[in-house]
């Protein structure tokens, strides 16, 4: 039987346990676990003018021979600055590729997506599929798909990069592999795949991977929604989710992308959810209230709504629609049975 020393103390016990890689639960005190989920991710807005200016300067200073990508990462002040993450699950960055440049082919475990902001005619090749990039296009490079970006056009290209990098990092699963050549060979175009999509679904045929949502398809579908008042969601206005066309499931395993339209002067109601959402103002100007703070945004700005913060959106214009692109980690939370939402 163990006899406690006469002069034993909690401090001594804690110290001795620490030397044996042990820790007493009593060190947490009586407060217990919080009644609501808590995050150190802070509501934050990044101005487009700052992002763009940084990238254009980097265009003069950083070559794609010396850096795998010319990317500006949007950093959340509430997180460990070592990682330069935008949230604890989803990363938002912007990438700049000048005419004649190529960002070399590689693949990695973090899943990524591109939402095109500026320029025309560059392309991303995904597993041999050429996706020509135009503003408003959404291009997916899911986990471990080969991808490279080439700008053979005469204008610079700027696009949003979204990744589940922080989540994959938290799971200690990050890896990257380079392709044997700088560019992968192009086997087909995303247009060919899109043309076969309807037929494939109708006949239950296996479809080549689908990676490319064109703005010329997205915009009319979004505008068509506004013809029906019943289609308006009171928390998000008119919202379209980018679904996997074959499964009807989320855009990617870990990220749900959406595009939403707020008509002139529209104001949504407040709610909150356990998912974190990063927004990019594609068109228009507005305000999003997050917790007790107000964030005024205009075209090109990006902002994050951390989990469980109540939030609502307002279109500040009396004449123009506002359009927001968004990325949410809801699919990951739903897979873990941790998704919850409530009205405020
Ligand atoms: Fe990549
Ligand atoms: Fe929301």
pLDDT tens, position by position, 159-177: 999 999 999 999 999 999 9
pLDDT band for position 117 (50/70/90)? very high
Q: What's the sign of the alpha-carbon dihedral 56, 57, 60, 62?
A: negative
Residue with tokens 């989320």: 250
Picking from 15-29, 84-98, 184-198, which range would have the lowest pLDDT averaged per residue? 184-198
Q: Is 286 helix (H, G, I), strand (E, B) or coil?
A: strand
Q: What's the sign of the alpha-carbon dihedral 14, 20, 22, 28?
A: positive
Expressed in angstroms and rounded, the spacing between residue 223 Cα and the centre of ligand 1 is 32
Expressed in angstroms and rounded, the spacing between residue 307 Cα and the centre of ligand 2 is 9
pLDDT at 91: 98
Check pLDDT > 80 for residue 315.
Answer: yes
Q: Is 216 exposed, middle or buried (0-12, 13-18, 19+ CB in 10 A)?
A: exposed
Q: What is the mean pLDDT of the chain?
A: 94
Residue 71 CA: which ligand is closest? 1
Which tens digit of pLDDT belongs to each residue from 217-248?
Answer: 999 999 999 999 899 999 999 999 999 887 88
Which tens digit of pLDDT belongs to each residue from 250-288?
Answer: 999 999 999 999 999 999 999 999 999 999 999 999 999
Which tens digit of pLDDT belongs to each residue from 143-155?
Answer: 999 999 999 999 9
Expressed in angstroms and rounded, the spacing between residue 140 Cα and the centre of ligand 1 is 11
Expressed in angstroms and rounded, the spacing between residue 239 Cα and the centre of ligand 2 is 11
List the end-to-end C-alpha distance of the chain, in Å, as a whole number. 57
pLDDT at 232: 96
Which parts of 4-82 fold into alpha helices (H)?
10-19, 48-61
pLDDT at 247: 83
pLDDT at 153: 93
Write out the two tokens for 335.
């897979």
CA distances to 13, 173, 190, 209, 304 from 142, rounded to whole Å, are: 50, 15, 15, 10, 22
pLDDT at 8: 93
Residues near 25 by beta carbon (within 8 Å), at least 6 away in sequence: none
Entry pTM: 0.94
pLDDT at 205: 65
Mean per-residue pLDDT for 80-104? 96
Can you tell me the distance from the alpha carbon of 271 to that of 257, in angstroms, rounded to the nearest whole number? Answer: 19
Q: Is 52 helix (H, G, I), strand (E, B) or coil?
A: helix
Check pLDDT > 80 for residue 2.
Answer: no
Q: Is 140 exposed, middle or buried (0-12, 13-18, 19+ CB in 10 A)?
A: buried
Can you tell me the distance from the alpha carbon of 67 to that of 158, in angstroms, rounded to the nearest whole number? Answer: 17
pLDDT at 196: 82
137 touches 120 (CB < 8 A)? no
pLDDT at 207: 65
Expressed in angstroms and rounded, the spacing between residue 48 Cα and the centre of ligand 1 is 22
Mean per-residue pLDDT for 18-33? 90
Phi/psi at 277 (5° precision) = -125, 135
Q: Is 313 exposed, middle or buried (0-12, 13-18, 19+ CB in 10 A)?
A: buried
Write out the two tokens for 45.
């807005």
Expressed in angstroms and rounded, the spacing between residue 205 Cα and the centre of ligand 2 is 36
pLDDT band for position 206 (50/70/90)? low
pLDDT band for position 318 (50/70/90)? very high
Check pLDDT > 80 for residue 102.
Answer: yes
pLDDT at 83: 92
pLDDT band for position 1 (50/70/90)? low
CA distances to 190, 195, 246, 313 from 201, rounded to whole Å, are: 16, 11, 7, 36
Check pLDDT > 70 for residue 320.
Answer: yes
Q: Is 11 helix (H, G, I), strand (E, B) or coil?
A: helix
CA distances to 91, 105, 236 from 86, rounded to whole Å, are: 5, 25, 22
pLDDT band for position 210 (50/70/90)? confident
* pLDDT cut 90: percent of the chain above it: 86
Residue with tokens 């990257």: 176
Residue 114 CA: which ligand is closest? 1
Write out the two tokens for 240.
């379209």
């Amino acid at each position: 039987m163990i006899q406690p020393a006469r002069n034993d103390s909690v401090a001594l016990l804690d110290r001795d346990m620490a030397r044996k890689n042990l820790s007493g639960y009593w060190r947490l005190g009586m407060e217990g676990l919080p009644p609501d989920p808590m995050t150190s991710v802070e509501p934050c807005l990044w101005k487009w003018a700052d992002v763009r200016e940084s990238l254009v300067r980097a265009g003069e200073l950083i070559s794609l021979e010396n850096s795998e990508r010319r990317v500006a990462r949007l950093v959340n002040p509430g997180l460990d600055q070592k990682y330069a993450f935008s949230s604890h699950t989803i990363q938002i960055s912007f990438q700049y590729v000048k005419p004649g440049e190529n960002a070399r082919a590689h693949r990695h475990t973090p899943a990524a997506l591109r939402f095109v902001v500026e320029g025309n005619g560059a392309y991303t090749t995904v597993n041999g599929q050429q996706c020509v990039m135009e503003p408003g296009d959404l291009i997916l490079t899911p986990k471990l798909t080969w991808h490279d970006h080439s700008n053979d056009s005469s204008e610079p290209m700027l696009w949003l990069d979204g990744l589940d990098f922080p989540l994959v990092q938290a799971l200690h699963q990050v890896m990257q592999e380079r392709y044997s050549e700088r560019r992968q060979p192009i086997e087909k175009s995303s247009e060919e795949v899109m043309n076969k999509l309807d037929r494939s679904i109708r006949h239950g045929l296996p479809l080549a991977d689908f990676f490319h949502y064109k703005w010329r398809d997205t915009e009319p579908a979004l505008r068509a929604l506004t013809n029906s008042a019943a289609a308006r969601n009171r928390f998000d206005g008119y919202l379209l989710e980018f679904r996997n066309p074959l499964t009807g499931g989320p855009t990617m395993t870990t990220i749900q992308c959406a595009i939403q339209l707020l008509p002139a002067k529209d104001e949504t109601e407040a709610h909150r959810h356990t998912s974190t959402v990063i927004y990019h103002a594609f068109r228009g100007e507005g305000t999003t209230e997050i917790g007790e703070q107000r964030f005024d945004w205009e075209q090109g700005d990006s902002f994050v709504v951390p989990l469980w913060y109540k939030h609502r959106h307002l279109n500040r214009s009396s004449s123009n629609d506002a359009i927001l692109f968004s990325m949410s980690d809801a699919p990951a939370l739903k897979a873990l049975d941790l998704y919850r939402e409530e009205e405020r």
